[in-house]
Amino acid sequence: MDAIDQKILHELQVDGRLGNNALAERVNLSESACLRRVRRLEDDGYLRGYVGLVDQTLAGYPDNVFVRITLHSQQQSDLTSFEQAVAGLPEVMECYLMSGDSDYLLRVIVSDARDYERIHSQTLTRLPGVARVHSSFALRTVVKKTEMPVRI
């Protein structure tokens, strides 16, 4: 990983649809050298895929709810059962195993409070091993980034 690789990663994070010819020009490489580097970054796992970012509000999910989940037990089998079940929920956009007083933190997208009530009562409380569910509605998004800094 060198400074050119960092520039390539930056440019592709800003615009994943950028063609190789334009990318090569922006990072001052020949098209063939640029393509080799991009393929190496993909093969090495730095570039894990390319996605289109859908506007959450226009898609019908204007609200984010951050949900802290506590399980009855932290045995590996219980954690695995919960994680497999939560991975299949389309409204759960992120799920993190946490340290502290909750076992998991989820970001759930919803259309409104009634939609969250449905998800809470019909889905979240029925996940394997759930003991407690604590929910907080985000009032507004202050910062949401898709580009991460890349270190050499």
Which of 20, 46, 19, 44 is CA-nearest to residue 34? 20
Q: For 50-76, b where at least 16 C-beta lie within 10 A, e where not — what string?
A: eeeeeeeeeeebebbbebbbbbeeeee
Query: At 54, phi and psi to the nearest 5?
Result: -85, 140
pLDDT at site 34: 98
Q: Model-level pTM?
A: 0.88
* 3-class secondary structure, 87: helix
pLDDT of 147 reads 92
In whole angstroms, give the CA distance from residue 89 to residue 92: 6
> Which domains are seen in the chain, by residue range?
3-43 (1.10.10.10), 63-137 (3.30.70.920)
- Residue by residue, pLDDT tens for the chain (152 residues) are 899 999 999 999 999 999 999 999 999 999 999 999 999 999 999 999 999 999 999 999 999 999 999 999 999 999 999 999 999 999 999 999 999 999 999 999 999 999 999 999 999 999 999 999 999 999 999 999 999 998 87
Residue-wise DSSP of 29-53: --HHHHHHHHHHHHHTTS-------
State CA 129 to chain mean position distance. Answer: 24
What is residue 150's predicted lDDT score, i.e. its pLDDT?
87
Q: What distance in Å separates the CA atoms of residue 82 and residue 18, rounded to the nearest whole number? A: 39
